[in-house]
Amino acid sequence: MNCVRSTESILISATKEKQAVIERFAPPPDDPRALLGSLLEFYWRGLREPLPFFPRSALGFADRTVHPTRNGSSPLEKAQQAWGDSPLARDQEFGQSFEREDEYFDLAFRNVPEPLGQEFQEMAMAIFEPALRTITTEQ
């Protein structure tokens, strides 16, 4: 939508306790066409090869990088918690298993010594940072 007209976006979701969560996103400060182009590049690349992009791990990494004061753990520790390389308890936020236990991730990355390495971190920031920086309110 922002490629046509700059506008605020609203995302309505719910917590596991079924409480409404409303997040408002300001129009992106960067060129929305360039942001969309960057995301499409990842999409087209992902059709040709497995990408080290694990959604929950990537969101945890990017969120903690953009908002470092939340909950005290480092961005990589937050990603490792969702991935499953952390001594912390299983990610129970939504009752989900570790991402490394996903059959498809395991097949594609079982021989990768560091799936949460530099490429993962750069991709997580490229995909999530623009949206995370535009959140104007959370309820």
Strand partners, 13: 21
The secondary structure of residue 48, as a DSSP letter, is H
d(CA 34, CA 40): 10
Output the pLDDT for position 71. Answer: 64
Lowest mean pLDDT among 7-11, 40-44, 96-100, 108-112: 96-100
Considering the chain, what is the average pLDDT of its residues?
A: 87
- Helix residue ranges per DSSP H, 1-139: 32-48, 55-66, 75-83, 103-109, 118-134
Say yes or no to pLDDT of 89 above 50: no
pLDDT higher than threshold 70 for residue 124: yes
CA pair distance 69, 78, nearest whole angstrom: 13
Query: Considering the chain, what percentage of its residues have pLDDT values greater than 90?
Result: 49
Whole-prediction pTM value?
0.82
> What pLDDT, in 10s, does the model give residues 103-116?
999 999 999 999 99
More confident residue, 81 or 120: 120
